[in-house]
């Protein structure tokens, strides 16, 4: 990508809080990611800590829905995050050097894949400044039937919304006052094809529907980067922990 394109992406990101880049990855790159995922699920997952792997139905391995920190168990995923085109893009949109934090896997298995509740990633991160970005890479077709991602345009500039507990595995927090007419008017949904890339700011409100199809899974990767200026926000962390504790009583 040339400098002009990076500039345009940064401008769009700053204005909307997200950017959609169709066909950022070619078919060979998508195939390579899918192969590594298959290997990972067969060889690595059986030895992983339980809190790094989530199932819609624990008793059924075919319902694997989410994994965290793939980079710590796979050189392939570490290379996808660090020193990569995605890292360059993260630096371009945040306007500073970045540190790759997490490679996540998101699947919505057919029929039982739940909605992704409306949330802001920064609510989980507890950082200041909230200089963080997620790169969401589609590995399969995502549409309104199997749960494509949607963003509230401009929401990254409107502060942190109140969050409260959900029963959704992998997304314990949801915006409690979501669904105002203003929210619905600014919601932009992004059907995606394998290799398409979505970039969102950590303050951008986002959501995804359930998978109501009979047979189409919805697999994707999420790669999280923090700007190097980021520090832990201890006050926010304490408030977050307090609210988690209050929710669990």
Ligand X SMILES: O=C(O)CCC(=O)C(=O)O
Binding site for ligand X (CB under 6 A): 106, 116, 121, 134, 136, 149, 206, 208, 220, 222
Nearest distance from residue 49's CB to ligand X, in Å? Answer: 21
Nearest distance from residue 118's CB to ligand X, in Å? Answer: 10
Question: What are 221's strand-pairing partners?
Answer: 105, 137
Q: How many other CB atoms are there within 10 angstroms of residue 184's CB atom?
A: 10
CA–CA dist 224, 77 (Å, integer): 12
Closest among 245, 142, 132 to 199, alpha carbons compared: 132
CA–CA dist 15, 35 (Å, integer): 36
Closest to ligand X by CB, 73 vs 218, is 218
Nearest distance from residue 2's CB to ligand X, in Å? Answer: 27
Nearest distance from residue 114's CB to ligand X, in Å? Answer: 9
Nearest distance from residue 3's CB to ligand X, in Å? Answer: 27
**Nearest 5°: phi and psi at 60?**
-125, 100
Closest to ligand X by CB, 7 vs 144, is 144
Closest to ligand X by CB, 222 vs 227, is 222
Instruction: Check: CB of residue 185 under 8 Å from CB of residue 95.
Output: no
Closest to ligand X by CB, 3 vs 190, is 190
Instruction: Check: CB of residue 30 under 8 Å from CB of residue 213.
Output: no
Nearest distance from residue 222's CB to ligand X, in Å? Answer: 4
Q: How many other CB atoms are there within 10 angstroms of residue 32's CB atom?
A: 14
The β-bridge relationship of strands 218-227 and 132-138 is antiparallel
Instruction: Check: CB of residue 169 under 8 Å from CB of residue 65.
Output: yes
Closest to ligand X by CB, 53 vs 249, is 53
Q: What is the chain's alpha carbon radius of gyration, rounded to the nearest angstrom?
A: 17
Closest to ligand X by CB, 92 vs 192, is 192
Closest to ligand X by CB, 18 vs 40, is 18
Nearest distance from residue 244's CB to ligand X, in Å? Answer: 18
The β-bridge relationship of strands 116-119 and 173-175 is unpaired
């Amino acid at each position: 990508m040339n400098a002009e394109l990076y500039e345009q992406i940064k401008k769009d990101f700053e204005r909307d809080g997200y950017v959609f880049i169709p066909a950022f990855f070619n078919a060979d790159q998508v195939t390579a990611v899918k192969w590594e995922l298959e290997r990972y699920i067969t060889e690595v997952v059986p030895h992983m800590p339980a809190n790094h792997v989530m199932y819609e139905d624990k008793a059924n391995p075919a319902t694997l829905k989410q994994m965290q920190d793939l980079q710590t168990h796979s050189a392939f995923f570490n290379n996808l995050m660090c020193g990569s085109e995605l890292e360059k893009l993260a630096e371009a949109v945040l306007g500073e050097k970045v540190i790759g934090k997490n490679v996540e896997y998101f699947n919505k298995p057919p029929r039982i894949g739940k909605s992704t509740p409306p949330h802001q990633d920064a609510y989980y991160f507890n950082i200041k400044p909230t200089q963080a970005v997620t790169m969401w890479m589609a590995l399969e077709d995502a549409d309104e039937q199997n749960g494509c991602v949607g963003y509230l345009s401009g929401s990254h500039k409107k502060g942190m919304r109140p969050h409260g507990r959900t029963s959704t595995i992998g997304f314990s927090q949801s915006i409690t006052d979501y669904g105002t007419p203003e929210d619905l008017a600014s919601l932009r949904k992004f059907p995606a094809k394998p290799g398409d890339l979505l970039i969102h700011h950590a303050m951008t409100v986002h959501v995804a529907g359930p998978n109501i199809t009979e047979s189409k899974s919805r697999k994707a990767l999420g790669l999280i980067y923090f700007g190097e200026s980021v520090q832990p926000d201890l006050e926010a962390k304490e408030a977050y922990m307090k609210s988690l504790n209050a929710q669990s009583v």
